[in-house]
Amino acid sequence: MSSTASEQPRPVRFGILGCASIARKLERAIQLAPGATVAAVGSRSEAKARRFAADNGLDAGVRVHGSYEALLDDPDVDAVYLPLPTSLHVRWATAAAGRGKHVLLEKPTALCTADLDAIVAACEAASVQFMDSTMMMHNLRTGRMREVLADKDAIGDIRMINSMLSFHAHEDFLQNDIRVKPDLDALGALGDLGWYCIRATLWAVDYELPKTVTALREPVKNQAGVLLACGASMHWEDGKVATFTCSFLASSAMDVTVVGTKGSLRLTDFVIPYEETSAAFSVASKLGVKELAIGWGPQPSQHVVATDLPQEALMVQEFARLVRNIRDAGADPEGMWPAITRKTQVVVDAVKVSIDKGCQPVDVTG
């Protein structure tokens, strides 16, 4: 069915598959995003799904399913948002695609690239949209920073990148959270935090994969072998180098610094902006040193990007737009999103392989 010009397009009806705490944020984002609505919630028990619906003030019309299968069988669900533990992604993302549901998948998308490939292949076979839930990609700031990076007079050729992402987990998290459990999220901090550092780095270099990746030595693991803190360096053919460190054991830091031949770009809240309604970054360019090097400048200039919708709602809006294109206008799924997901996963894999090999360098092959 296609909508006429005078009609509002039918919203994309989301099913939330799993009631993880992050789902609360997405539920709100779906409600905020134009062209999207929460149609159903599914959990392993109906009671849990009902509690989620009640806790989040969902409309009485939102259907509540006592199993993931029941949610996927709901004919009035167009797309699923899937925040399950990573180890369950292959099973449920491919199942969703197999039932013709578009897939918005929480990160890290898979435990390894082969698993991700199975998910993406299922989405392609079903002609449904795939997108990972890396919200920062959709912040208006991200687009504005892309313009700065693309301006060769401002930044020039990128030479060095650093990113740091951390939060200080409480003892309860370190004992019980799915992100420290080997059977649920075996990638630990690398999957939960390193994912963003790697994505931001790839984003900065316009998704050119590095030639090699080398993990930093002495990653911190818990007793079950799950990473609590780690890092890596990435190296490109042209001499660019990027480093990142990520940690569940340090206070909140969300830094990206990109230094090019002509200038540099910095932000300290790259994953979650300090504020919902605006986000800032700084640019230093056309730098010079004063007489006798008694100072230099100009100092970085601050750029503030205002936004009406938070980045997660912008993500849902974009995802819903692509879904409507497919559902209502017969378009093909947008291939850019699974492609950048895959590059991110490939580098995550390379860091993991490097760690497993005692921090030896690993060649990256897309």
What is d(CA 213, CA 140) in angstroms, rounded to the nearest whole number? 30
**In the complex, minimum distance from the CB of residue 212 to a copy of itself, in angstroms, rounded to a whole number:** 7
What is d(CA 1, CA 33) in angstroms, rounded to the nearest whole number? 22
- Which residues are 158's β-sheet partners? 260
**In the complex, minimum distance from the CB of residue 165 to a copy of itself, in angstroms, rounded to a whole number:** 10
List the one residue out of 182, 252, 248, 179 whose CA is nearest residue 219: 248
22-28-34 Cα angle (round to 5): 130
**In the complex, minimum distance from the CB of residue 242 to a copy of itself, in angstroms, rounded to a whole number:** 9
Among the options 101, 107, 240, 352, which is catalytic? 107
Q: Which is nearer to a copy of itself, 22 or 118 (by Cβ)?
A: 22
Q: Which is nearer to a copy of itself, 74 or 269 (by Cβ)?
A: 269
Q: Which is nearer to a copy of itself, 146 or 217 (by Cβ)?
A: 217
Helices and strands of the chain, counted as H and E runs: 11, 18
Distances in Å between the Cα of 129 and the Cα atoms of 34, 84, 107, 275 are 18, 18, 16, 30
List the one residue out of 120, 112, 116, 109 whose CA is nearest residue 84: 109
90 half-sphere exposure, CB direction, 13 A CA radius: 12
CB neighbours of residue 342 within 10 Å: 20
Q: Which residues bind a copy of itself (CB under 8 A)?
A: 24-25, 28, 156, 159-160, 162, 164, 166-168, 212, 214, 216-218, 220, 229, 231, 233, 235, 239, 241, 243, 245, 247, 249-253, 255, 257, 259-264, 266, 268-269, 272-276, 284-285, 287, 289, 292-297, 299-300, 310, 359, 361
Helix axes 21-32, 46-55, angle to 10 degrees: 50
Q: Which is nearer to a copy of itself, 96 or 309 (by Cβ)?
A: 309
Instruction: Identify whether 107 is a catalytic site residue.
Output: yes
List the one residue out of 239, 238, 251, 201 whose CA is nearest residue 351: 201
Q: Which is nearer to a copy of itself, 245 or 341 (by Cβ)?
A: 245
**In the complex, minimum distance from the CB of residue 81 to a copy of itself, in angstroms, rounded to a whole number:** 15
**In the complex, minimum distance from the CB of residue 32 to a copy of itself, in angstroms, rounded to a whole number:** 10
Active site residues: 107
